[in-house]
Amino acid sequence: VEPNTRTDTDRRTYRATKDGEDGPEERPSVALSVQVRDSRMSVALQDLRNTMSSYKRATLEEEEGSDTPAEAESSPDSVEVGFRKGGVDILGRRTQLEVLLSVMLLAALLALLACLVALGLGFSSDSGRGLCLSEACVTVASQIVEAMDRSADPCQDFHQFACGGWMRKNPLPDGRSRWSTFNSIWEQNQALLKHLLENGTFNGSSEAERKTQSYYLSCLNTQRIEDLGAQPLVDLITKIGGWNMTGPWDKDNLMEVLKMVSGLYRAQPFFSVVVGADPKNSNSNIIQVDQSGLFLPSRDYYLNKTANEKVLMAYLDYMVELGMLLGGEKTSTQLQMQQILDFETSLANITVPQDQRRDEEKIYHKVTISELQLLAPAVDWLDFLTFSLSPLELNDTEPVVLYAREYLQQVSELINKTDKSLLNNYMMWTLVQKSVATLDQRFENAQDKLLESLYGTKKSCTPRWQTCIGNTDDTLGFALGALFVKATFDKHSKEIAEEMINEIRSAFKQALDRLSWMDSETRQAAKDKADAIYDMIGFPEFILDPKELDDVYDGYDVSDDSFFQNMLNFYNFSTRVMADQLRKAPNKDQWSMTPPTVNAYYMPTKNGIVFPAGILQAPFYAHDHPKALNFGGIGVVMGHELTHAFDDQGREYDKEGNLRPWWQNSSVEAFRQRTECMVEQYSRYTVNGEHVNGKQTLGENIADNGGLKAAYHAYRSWIQRHGDEKTLPAVNLTNDQLFFVGFAQVWCSVRTPESAHEGLVTDPHSPPRYRVIGTLANSLDFSHHFSCPEGTPMNTGKRCEALGLRQILYGYWAKWSSWSRYQPLDHIREYFGEKIALYFAWLGFYTGWLLPASLVGTFIFLVGFWLVTSDVPAKEESREEAPRLEEVSPWEADYQLLVCEGLLSEYLEMVIQFGFITIFVAACPLAPLFALINNWVEIRLDAQKFVTEYRRPVVERAQDIGIWFSILQFITHTAVLSNAFLIAFTSSFVPRLYYRYTRDITLSGFTNFTLATSPKSFSQQQQNTSCRYQGFRDESGEYLPEYFHLLAIRLSFVIVFEHVVFFVGRLIDLMVPDIPEEVEMKMKREHYMAKEALAENQSLGKTLIPGDEDVLSGELRQRGSRISPLRKDSPPPILKEIPEA
């Protein structure tokens, strides 16, 4: 529900910003965040400890028991009394006829009563077979009914329908900013852990468990904490170098202060440093640096001063009060704390918002320490990292991964231009923030005032022991988890959980087959990744081995009387553990959540999902609950985490956990189209007038939608295998409806307006209300089972799950912006039929081959244009010629788009174009370029006609483009001959060569060489000029020898040109297969599947009736197209069902 549902007092344990939430520590995992600190009893414990259950079994049984006897007592008693009133005396006074009639009437009444009893028994028997009347079913039915609001319309507001009753009966408790069913269960778990730790006979089986009790008791020892007051923190500040706020400080010691504050005590004022798996090489650990430094939950609190003025004032008051409690003077403290707040605001200004950091491929930057030093010179990085990771030896070539490159560069500039006194104040302030939870009541009271402004809570009423349980879980969580697991966890639950995960995984993989927008190569890789997902359930095995558990906490010293020192020791211990990991390979079995945690998460660098013991219990899972509730609870959680492997961030990691682009471009584009829809959908939702951040919550929204779909499909598969299960009594819901109600009731919650605002600006999850509404509004199954008409809020008619085939064709193919993409031929084939698909396949092939021809033609044109001014014959003037009319060949081409009555006009247009640019290309070398540009436009126009203007035509089967292939072959041969004759007889290419090599390699005098005087018999005597023309004749009109030489050369050129072109064409024909490999594979697969299907039908004794062959062939083509390998830029396959995230 929220990233941290611990009580507000528990939140003090770290800082108001929920320390570590935005840092790289959280990077390896993507948590469902049902509740970070909500954990509940296991199924076994719940069976043993009915006193800890919130179910009202006795009341429900008494109500059922009292209703039935009341009905049984009224009817028989009244009949008996009435009968006695008519005693024997009355019968004695009647005639024999009256007696006979009375006997007959009595017999009829008895017969009628017998029939009614029989009907009643039959009805009761039938009802008993259809209802689950076990104690668990009756109890959970009662809880579900109490949580529902029957007056709400499920098609208008399903969250109100499922949770309205729960919200009425669960107002916010005092001192809480939010409350949910999980909070109450977490309190029950806290009570159990309290009992285990405070047990007078406690004798832990390991040293780690005894450390756990000592740590818990040191936190409970408030008297000792009060006696020490602020002195432990004052001594620490003095040890580090002093704080200008409260006393003298070392002005030349800034780097040492940074190393101590950030390295030893993990305060991380300017940036965070951790050691974790390298996202691009998940088999090795690496140093990782990211942005850090803000105390308030989000940069928005600092930058949006108008909306958050109240919070900023409360924060400043809190800072001043803490400074004065540590010995600061009021006026000076106010001034310096205001400077710190201004500095934090400067940090907030350069901090990158979380919704802009979702593309991990873009924010990943791997550098060396020397390169980091050049990027951010304000810090001596080698010295700082060597100290923080002591005793490791580092050098300038040590690799470091940066997740905020621009931030680090800007924070370095900010440090350089900031006064040293302010930098010292700020670093010490971050240390003070981190230490407040370990100090006396005065510091807690100061924080209460800030929390009231920030979260809307009044003074906390949370008992100290609850706060200490949370602290202990944060520090020694696996040792505490060992106590929890041994007391509560049923290992049978682990086996069942593994079975359910496999069922969800199988349903998810089947859903991938229905994601037709995903190409076959990406789909297969996604299936491989789903198979490779490593699941860890319940708890890590080492916690039950005392020696291994002791080894984990070896080196961490815990005392009974100094809670402050225990915290400092833990910071130092965690630093040493982090340094120890750098030279080791990542441990895929390492957990980042403790066993009592009611949560689950996905680790992208390990490609693993984790389900702690805390979540494997009701209402998520109970072995005696209906499967509809189990799949709607833990099933959705499993599907949610599985889907995280394929959300907008998880999809960037392959099955080995490495950050690399393994999706094909077409699938990436289709995925982005779908996610854009989801961003828009959730961004329309508002809480108290404030919009949800659809980009920030995208990953979790994808996981919610995908998890619900996978879980529901897994449930339906279970029903198909085992048959329908019994329904719950009194809920008046089918089991399918119960699935959705159970899912929705997981998210029942209430919270203050301030807490809701904080969630909107910081939480990567949508508010609980919209995790229900948004997810179910995208579910076609939900709309079907609750009969929600289109146009209602829960069935808007526009779901972000599906893109229709026509939508895909328009968005991916027919848009002008799609000119550079490969055509979605499989989609065109399925939607329009093979005949139209073949036309576009040929048109695309033809257009593609125009590209080299247009380049050559353009080059020839440009060369000719460049040489026209230096051409010697062009500068020569011939003898005078009589003026004559210029003859121009006419050109007219006007093709009208027609109604789709066939492809004749389409083919004819392109074939004629092909004829022009091939037969006459020698006359106009630019023709291929013009044709290429025309065909780029033509493909989009034809696509738009077929997609947006034409009604879907009747599908026609075809093997090839038919007679057009023969026509194109004829045009090709004709074009070779025509271009040979054009070049030989109409251009000056051959005459120039002849003249050059017969005139000492010069073209001087070429123009008059080509001209001849008209014979006198043809001369016009009335004119004083003579006609000169190209002809190589003498004055008598006879051909010159040069004419015959040129004629022979021209004919020879034609023969040589034709042979060379046909040889090259034959060579290309041999090198380029007639059928592309991918198409050949598809054809072979269709042929194989057809034979397989035929054999299957024959083995079953079936015969194909007329028409079945076409249906079978169509199905095989569709199946073949979904599994065929596509190009990297191939389009999304057809979306027949809602896609999973």
Distance, CA of 660 to chain centre: 15
Angle among Cα 463, 469, 475 to the nearest 5 degrees reads 140
- Preceding omega of 540 cis (within 30 degrees of 0): no
Nearest to 189 by CA among 592, 543, 567, 595: 595
Instruction: Identify residue 610 by its one-letter amino acid code.
Output: V
Contact 9, 467 (CB under 8 A): yes
Token pair in block for residue 909: 């247009």
User: Token digits for 482?
Assistant: 């060992």
Distances in Å between the Cα of 343 and the Cα atoms of 246, 289, 434, 446, 513 are 19, 21, 18, 22, 53
> Would you give the distance in Å from CA 71 to the centre of its chain?
57
Cβ contacts of residue 32 below 8 Å, gap of 6+? 599, 600, 601, 637, 640, 641, 703
Q: Where are the beta strands (DSSP E) in 780-831?
A: none
Long-range contacts of 947-956 (CB under 8 A, 24+ apart): 947/806, 947/809, 947/810, 947/813, 947/814, 948/810, 948/814, 950/899, 950/900, 951/900, 952/831, 952/832, 953/832, 953/833, 953/836, 953/900, 954/833, 955/832, 955/833, 955/834, 955/835, 956/833, 956/834, 956/835
Bridge partners, 611 (sequence order):
537
Q: Please name the residue ranges forming H helices in 684-763.
A: 698-722, 735-745, 753-762
Burial-class residue 365 by CB neighbours within 10 Å (0-12, 13-18, 19+): middle
DSSP 155: T
Q: Which helix (H) or strand (E) holds 749?
A: strand 749-751
Q: Which two tokens stand for residue 1016?
A: 């006198």
Structure tokens at 992: 């120039």
- Note whether 493 and 621 are within 8 A (CB): yes
Question: Is residue 1139 classed exposed, middle or buried when 0-12, 13-18 and 19+ CB atoms within 10 A define those classes?
Answer: buried
Single out the residue of 1113, 818, 802 nearest to residue 947, CA to CA: 818
Q: Give yes or no for a contact between 394 and 385, defined as CB atoms under 8 angstroms apart.
A: yes
For residue 953, whether the previous peptide bond is cis, meaning omega lies within 30 degrees of 0, is: no
User: Are 826 and 1121 in contact, with CB atoms under 8 Å apart?
Assistant: yes
The neighbouring-strand residues paired with 534 are 608
Q: Which two tokens stand for residue 281?
A: 């090489």
Can you read off the two tokens belonging to residue 314? 């409360």
Helical packing angle, 207-220 and 181-198, nearest 10°: 110
The residue written with tokens 């006419």 in the block is 890
By annotation, the residues acting in catalysis are 641, 704
In degrees and rounded to multiples of 5, residue 68 shows phi and psi of -65, -50
Residue count of the chain: 1141
Taking each helix axis as running N to C, give the angle between helix 636-644 and helix 491-514, from 0 to 180 degrees, rounded to the nearest 10.
Answer: 60
Are 205 and 546 spatial neighbours (Cβ–Cβ below 8 Å)? yes
Residue 509 Cα distances to 529, 600, 605, angstroms: 10, 21, 21
Q: Rounded to an integer, what distance in angstroms lies between the CA atom of residue 72 and that of residue 531?
A: 59
